[in-house]
Structure 1
Amino acid sequence: MTAKRLSAPTLLLLPAVLVLAAVVVVPLCLSFYSSFTPFRLTRPETFFTFIGLRNYRNILSDANFWWAFGRTVLLLTIALNLEMLLGLGLALLVEKASRGQRVLRTIMMFPMMFSPILVGFQFKFMFNDNIGLVNNALQSLGLTQEAIPWLIEGHLAFIAISIAEIWSSTSIFAILILAGLLAMPKEPVEAARVDGCTPWQTFRYVTWPFIMPFAYIAMTIRSLDVARAYDIVKIMTDGGPAGRTELLWTLVARTAYSDARMGVANAMAYFSILLSIVFTVYFFRKLAAARTQIGAEW
């Protein structure tokens, strides 16, 4: 029997498949297996000791893990809602601009061009106790007499991180919602005005249902980003003070590299992926419902 020859497309795709398997599939399989072991970086032989679900049971009874989980959900909720509202406002303002709309769209994209690490350093400097721009501005305006310990007090540090996240990613919502506004037919809006609808009624019952799918797409993208937030938190507070800003992925990194408990860290990581899956499924369902509504009404 002659060996079956592979087709030309298969041969062309084979190198890419092998590279993806080497850098994605194999590490994922090894990390998933290690979550069922007591693997420590300082003791490589522990990688071959299978302990079942012990790591998962331990993290489910770990208060620090649940505090980090709760903070991540809180940050995700605050960031998504405020980014959506601010992005919607920016998109509406830019869409109404009669001149310089291209320039405004370009300026609106600037925050997306900065890496999260650079954003972290930028806001860490801005919220610095002594030389930070925020404290200097507040004191110059007479709103406060003393420097506010933004990155030292737990609640204030969380607010500072939230502001950095919102500043860096509001443009994602603005750009996608603006795309929806520019793609929207003008006839329904004009018909609503002729029928005597107020601007709020026109937006609520005509404009918003049309651009809602674009907002849900942005929410899906951002939910994945915020659920695995690491860079900005690492640079600004490193999870401090006293773990008050510790999020899921900063806790995973600390457990894996500072404590060398790679098996436990991988268990945390795979459990944390459930958070991303839940929000993704939720927003995809909302997106499908919004598209169905548009198809029925338009």
Structure 2
Amino acid sequence: MFRKISPPVLLLLPAIIVLVAVVLFPLLLSLYSSFTPFRLTKPASLFVWAGFRNYQRILTDWVFWAAFLRTVVLLTIALNLEMLFGLGLAMLVNKATYGKRALRTAMMFPMMFSPVLVGFQFKFMFNDNVGLINNALQSLGLTDQAIPWLIDGNLALFAISVAEIWSSTSVFAILILAGLLAMPQEPVEAARVDGCTPWQTFRYVTWPFLMPFAYIAMTIRSLDIARAYDIVKIMTDGGPARRTELIWTLVGRTAYADAQMGLATAMAYISIILSIVFTIYFFRKLAAARTQIGAEW
């Protein structure tokens, strides 16, 4: 039997078997379960075909779409602020005369923490009784009472945004710094000779060259934020009253707390489709930025 298989395929066969067993089979099984009323408490329900009932239920479920809107809001705020702070950090490190290696290492420090540890860290910092933030604000006389950061819905989403931005700004900083280090200096020097101000040089020379690096970081981070779970789970667990419930925390709650695995997998596939849409958008922006650089440089 194996003699009829070509040597390249035979060599790849173990890897193919592992990929089918570990990736393809669970993916197909989860896709099938999204068309069933599968509940963890009723294993036999996995073999009951329900058609598009789960997807129809999701499309009219305001809880899911509220979680989706919160995810989009978090993604928009986090991406823009991370890019802004990352750009500032990268330019400061690039301008440094001494200690660039130490600064680059320090810049990567937040990435070394796991999301669970970041969640616990910021949950303690934003605690309304013993948290560092409230103690600092009261010591400075900016407030005379504890602010319920993790109890008020809007403030809790703000606290989660701060945790996400702190932990992942370095992704933008590192990639943009790589762009600054790879950027040729002749166009910058020519712009200065022509009398351009520092802002004009940055706006029309430096930033267009850095845009592909920024879009790569946006693609990576948009996928991370779209499936955010750990930090939200630790800090608020979707509360108060689901005011910080995001897509994947809702999926986890539906699957394990409510035991509705079929409905949860349907939510997950809709979320994956939305993530693919964001990825395609950023890749198109990346391709356009590369084309612009090729034409101008």
* TM-score bucket of the superposed structures, by smaller chain: over 0.9
Deviation string for 1:5-43 (max 9, x for gaps)? 430x43332222211211111111000000000000000
Structure 2 residue aligned with 1:83:
82
Q: 2 CA distance for matches of 1:121 and 1:224?
A: 22
Structure 2 residue aligned with 1:135:
134
Structure 1 residue aligned with 2:171:
172
Q: 1 CA distance for matches of 2:122 and 2:209?
A: 35
Structure 1 residue aligned with 2:4:
4
Structure 1 residue aligned with 2:205:
206
Q: 1 CA distance for matches of 2:3 and 2:17?
A: 21
Structure 2 residue aligned with 1:270:
269
Structure 2 residue aligned with 1:72:
71
Write the mapping of 1:121-132 to structure 2, written as runs, cut at 5 A: 121-132=120-131
Q: 1 CA distance for matches of 2:233 and 2:2?
A: 58
Deviation (angstroms), 1:3: 4.6
Q: Which runs of 5+ in 1 are unaligned?
A: none
**Which amino acid letter does the alignment assign opposite residue 101 of structure 1?**
K
Write the mapping of 1:185-264 to structure 2, written as runs, cut at 5 A: 185-264=184-263
Structure 1 residue aligned with 2:26:
27
Report the 3-state secondary structure (helix = DSSP H, G, I; strand = E; otherwise coil) of the residue aligned with 2:156: helix
Deviation string for 1:65-92 (max 9, x for gaps)? 1100000000000000000000000000
Deviation string for 1:185-241 (max 9, x for gaps)? 001000100110000000000000001000000000000000000000000000000
Identity over aligned residues, as a percent? 79
Q: 1 CA distance for matches of 2:3 and 2:158?
A: 64
Deviation (angstroms), 1:2: 9.6
TM-score, length basis structure 2:
0.98
Deviation (angstroms), 1:155: 0.3
Q: 2 CA distance for matches of 1:72 and 1:5?
A: 48
Q: 2 CA distance for matches of 1:14 and 1:122?
A: 45
Deviation string for 1:47-71 (max 9, x for gaps)? 0110110000001111101100000
Q: 2 CA distance for matches of 1:2 and 1:227?
A: 44
TM-score, length basis structure 1:
0.98
Root-mean-square deviation over aligned CA pairs: 1.1
**Which amino acid letter does the alignment assign opposite residue 222 of structure 2?**
S
Deviation string for 1:120-153 (max 9, x for gaps)? 0000010011110000000011100001000000
Q: Which runs of 5+ in 2 are unaligned?
A: none
Q: 2 CA distance for matches of 1:227 and 1:5?
A: 42
Structure 1 residue aligned with 2:49:
50
Report if the CA contact (8 A) 2:90-2:173 is conserved: yes
Report if the CA contact (8 A) 2:2-2:10 is conserved: no
Deviation (angstroms), 1:264: 0.3
**Which amino acid letter does the alignment assign opposite residue 73 of structure 1?**
V
Q: 1 CA distance for matches of 2:53 and 2:254?
A: 16
